[in-house]
Chain A
Amino acid sequence: MLRRVDVAFLLTGAVLPALGAFVAVPALQAAGVPREAAVGAVVGLWVGAALLAARGIRSHVRGALDDALTRLDEGLRRGDAAGAVEAIDPVVRPVFARLQSVLAQVEVAGQAIIDRRELQQVIDSMPDSLLVLNQDGVVELANATSARRLGFGGPHEVVGLGLDALAGEVTPGWWQALQADGAFTTRDVRLRSRAGNVVTFSAAARVFERVGSTRSAGVLVARESAAEVNLLTQELAATAERLEVSERFFQDLFDAMEDPITVLSPDFEILQANRQAKLVFGRDLIGRRCYRAFRMRDTPCEDCPARETFAASTSVSVEHRIFGNAITRISTYPLLGKDGQVQAVINHKRDVTKERQLEDLKASFLATVSHELRTPLTSIMGFNKLNIRRLQRFVRPWVAEGPEEVRTALQKALSDMEVMGSEGERLGRLVNDVLDLSKLEAGKLRLAPESFEVLPLVQGAVTATSSLLAGRHLLVLPDVPEITPAAWGDRDRISQVLVNLLSNAIKYTARGEVRVAVVVESKMVRFVVQDSGEGIAPEDLPFIFERFRQAGDNQKGKPAGTGLGLAICKQIIQLHGGEITVESRVGHGSTFAFTVPRADASTRDSLG
């Protein structure tokens, strides 16, 4: 590629010398000037003129040349060639010397342009803003970053701008400081963008001496804007503070727990411990092995729940009798890492001694209450029954012939005593139900599972509830397949459930039918009790298996029950690994269904 300097050399080195060679040199030779001198002078003059013109000093050279030519012309006219050359010599020599110097400078400048382009590329790639200003505060060099930060299209748009345009004033404070101190390392420098907005740089700058010149200039290397840096710093500080607050919150939360909680590594090292853990097991807990710290053992405990949590990534809960009668429940929870693997285990200990004692207390309390209720109830009902018997045996025959009001009074007394008897029975059932339910809920009810035939169970339940049918236009229809596999469970308890559902169905159905069906499934036997009764309101359905809930509680003449029957049914069926469900539509009846394992299915293994 042709450089501008090359073009200048082509012009001055080829075209103008040709003119000189064909016009000026012969003229000089004709005047007696030696050829070499004439050629040198002319070439020198033309080249010098051309180049000096290119350097912007054309007028000066032209003046000198005009002067020299005038003198040459005068000398030639006088016929004094030597004089003529001598006359132009003082003019030509310095021009020639200057020309050589200019050529050297052009050479340097050409190289400088190449260097400068490379330099520009280098500084454009800097992430920092760079500005080089001369001593007058005019930008001589800028990089792409500074141009971009100031909103210019490129460095060339920034070069040439003075401080007045760039900073809004000729001598801003930082410029004065730079001139005075020669350098600064961190200082906010506010410059104006092309749009006129203030852009703040956090800048470092120094004054440097120009090579080959005494003039000084400043270099400004500016990093990201202080405002942005400040903002980032503030955000960082805020985040750090939030983190700290959050960490403190969780630490406080951790410490506020009344139970000892620790975090264990896979090799049972205690990584974290809350205040309570340190209080119970010692301040120096962290870093120790849990089996050593908690149980004074030399090797991991064989019943360790953490081991299982590490292996299976599940939470595990065990109860240990550690010291004397104290019972501790240890629960472990997995702490998963980013890869989904268990990194550590949370170990939570709770002293459940009191809970267990309370459970025992509750059981014995219930047994006592049950006994204390039953004993007077036995007396009340027993004496009531004896009185009924006495009245019937001894009084009734005697008053049979007596006045009508005595007979009526006796009949009313007997009838009222029957009510007392049935209410007493109800009270007895309630006591039984409360006792059953509390045993079931405490998991203390022991099932006596066996294989039993389904048909006799259904027939037994139908028989047991037949007395409830008196005075109702109701049909009870058993529907048991001819071949039904035996079921597996506590026969008496399953019978209790079926009788309960059947008596409910009868009690809530004034007329129509109650169907008791058995459906054989792959692993279970399903018992279905379907009635055509009043049905259960949708808002009652979700709570139907809760205790002391009776559908239609507000209804007049509600059937007498304890409100515990269905809760007990649910517990019994769940204990058998089965399920109990209800479907109902008001006005169309209800369907209760429950499942019990088949005797030939594997589910029976899970029963106690």
Chain B
Amino acid sequence: MSKRILIVDDDTHIRLLLHRTLEELEGMGVEIHFAEDGLDGLNQTRALQPDLMFLDVMMPHMNGFEVCREVRRDPALAKTHIVVLTARGQTQPPLDLRYAPHEIMTKPFDPDIIVARAAQVLGVSLDFGF
């Protein structure tokens, strides 16, 4: 079964950037899916059960931390590794560690770090071809 990444962000260009950043993983059998708001993100997570999700915080309908909380409360989604991408100064993450994301990365993020981290989480090896 192929590995799945879910990108949840309401900003088209951030979705595109993350897609471009991670596209070389597609060649290694990794599926990349997209959601455009929090609620869409939660529904797709339930449907796809992704291995890794990148979650924006400020989104319509449901913010990233709320999505994160719902995902982590669901035992069926226990395998999903959640990386919240936040701008500094946004809403603080929940203090209850049971529902906290696995990682928080700050925008603007470095594409190299994102792709390296994704490869690590998914257990695929990357060859940058240098």
Chain A interfacial positions (CB closer than 8 Å to B): 366-368, 370-371, 374-379, 381-383, 385-386, 389, 393, 424-425, 428, 432, 435, 439
Known contacts A371-B58, A376-B13, A435-B89: does B110 contact A386 (CB below 8 Å)? no
Which of B14, B17, B91, B107 has the most C-beta atoms of chain A within 10 angstroms of its own C-beta?
Answer: B107
A382 close to B90 (CB less than 8 A)? no
A382 close to B111 (CB less than 8 A)? yes
Residues in chain B near residue A366, CB distance under 8 A: 89
Alpha-carbon gap, A374 to B88, bound state (A): 9
Residues in chain B near residue A371, CB distance under 8 A: 57-58, 87, 89-90
Alpha-carbon gap, A386 to B108, bound state (A): 13
A-B contacts, 8 listed (Cβ < 8 Å): A367-B87, A367-B91, A371-B87, A371-B89, A374-B88, A374-B108, A375-B13, A382-B108
A378 close to B17 (CB less than 8 A)? yes
Kindly state whether residue B123 has any CB partner on chain A within 8 Å.
Answer: no
Within the complex, the shortest CB–CB distance from A104 to chain B, in Å, comes to 121
Alpha-carbon gap, A374 to B11, bound state (A): 11
Kindly state whether residue B129 has any CB partner on chain A within 8 Å.
Answer: yes
Q: Per a CB cutoff under 8 Å, which of A367, A370, A382, A435 touches B21? A: A382
Within the complex, the shortest CB–CB distance from A89 to chain B, in Å, comes to 142
The 0/1 profile, CB within 8 Å of A marked 1, for residues 85-124 of chain B is: 0011111000000000000000111111000000000000
Within the complex, the shortest CB–CB distance from B54 to chain A, in Å, comes to 12
Alpha-carbon gap, A435 to B110, bound state (A): 21
Q: Per a CB cutoff under 8 Å, which of A368, A389, A428 touches B108? A: A428
Alpha-carbon gap, A383 to B16, bound state (A): 9
Kindly state whether residue B79 has any CB partner on chain A within 8 Å.
Answer: no
Alpha-carbon gap, A367 to B112, bound state (A): 26
Alpha-carbon gap, A376 to B16, bound state (A): 12
B13 close to A432 (CB less than 8 A)? no
Residues in chain B near residue A376, CB distance under 8 A: 13
Residues in chain B near residue A428, CB distance under 8 A: 108
Alpha-carbon gap, A144 to B22, bound state (A): 118
A393 close to B89 (CB less than 8 A)? no
B14 close to A379 (CB less than 8 A)? yes
Residues in chain A near residue B90, CB distance under 8 A: 367, 370-371
Question: Mostly helix, strand, loop or mixed at chain B's interface?
Answer: loop
A382 close to B17 (CB less than 8 A)? yes
Residues in chain A near residue B110, CB distance under 8 A: 385
Alpha-carbon gap, A382 to B115, bound state (A): 12
Residues in chain B near residue A389, CB distance under 8 A: 111-112
B89 close to A386 (CB less than 8 A)? no
By Cβ-Cβ distance, the 10 closest A-B pairs, closest first, are A374-B87, A378-B108, A379-B13, A382-B17, A435-B89, A378-B107, A371-B87, A374-B107, A370-B89, A381-B108
Q: Contacts A371-B90, A375-B107, A382-B111 given; 13 further ones with Cβ under 8 A?
A: A370-B87, A370-B88, A374-B88, A377-B107, A378-B107, A378-B109, A379-B16, A382-B17, A385-B111, A386-B21, A393-B129, A424-B108, A432-B88
Residues in chain A near residue B11, CB distance under 8 A: 375, 379
Within the complex, the shortest CB–CB distance from A563 to chain B, in Å, comes to 19
A375 close to B20 (CB less than 8 A)? no
Within the complex, the shortest CB–CB distance from A418 to chain B, in Å, comes to 14
Chain B interfacial positions (CB closer than 8 Å to A): 11, 13-14, 16-17, 20-21, 57-58, 87-91, 107-112, 128-130
Residues in chain A near residue B17, CB distance under 8 A: 378-379, 382-383, 386
Alpha-carbon gap, A370 to B58, bound state (A): 11
Residues in chain B near residue A383, CB distance under 8 A: 17, 20
Residues in chain B near residue A424, CB distance under 8 A: 108
Q: Per a CB cutoff under 8 Å, which of A375, A385, A386, A439 touches B14? A: A375
Residues in chain A near residue B107, CB distance under 8 A: 374-375, 377-378
Alpha-carbon gap, A34 to B117, bound state (A): 170
Known contacts A382-B17, A386-B17, A393-B129: does B111 contact A375 (CB below 8 Å)? no
Which of B58, B112, B129 has the most C-beta atoms of chain A within 10 angstroms of its own C-beta?
Answer: B58
Within the complex, the shortest CB–CB distance from A378 to chain B, in Å, comes to 4
Q: Name the residue on A nearest B13 (C-beta).
A: A379
Which of B11, B90, B91, B111 has the most C-beta atoms of chain A within 10 angstroms of its own C-beta?
Answer: B111
A393 close to B128 (CB less than 8 A)? yes
Q: Name the residue on B nearest A385 (C-beta).
A: B111
Q: Name the residue on B nearest A438 (C-beta).
A: B89
Residues in chain B near residue A381, CB distance under 8 A: 108
Q: Per a CB cutoff under 8 Å, which of A382, A385, A425, A439 touches B89? A: A439
Alpha-carbon gap, A385 to B110, bound state (A): 8
Within the complex, the shortest CB–CB distance from B49 to chain A, in Å, comes to 27
Q: Name the residue on B nearest A381 (C-beta).
A: B108
Alpha-carbon gap, A460 to B14, bound state (A): 33
Residues in chain B near residue A393, CB distance under 8 A: 128-130
Within the complex, the shortest CB–CB distance from B35 to chain A, in Å, comes to 16
Q: Name the residue on A nearest B87 (C-beta).
A: A374
Within the complex, the shortest CB–CB distance from A403 to chain B, in Å, comes to 24
A386 close to B87 (CB less than 8 A)? no
B129 close to A386 (CB less than 8 A)? no
Q: Name the residue on A nearest B130 (C-beta).
A: A393
Alpha-carbon gap, A385 to B57, bound state (A): 23
Residues in chain A near residue B108, CB distance under 8 A: 374, 377-378, 381-382, 424-425, 428
Within the complex, the shortest CB–CB distance from B103 to chain A, in Å, comes to 16
Known contacts A375-B107, A378-B14: does B112 contact A385 (CB below 8 Å)? yes
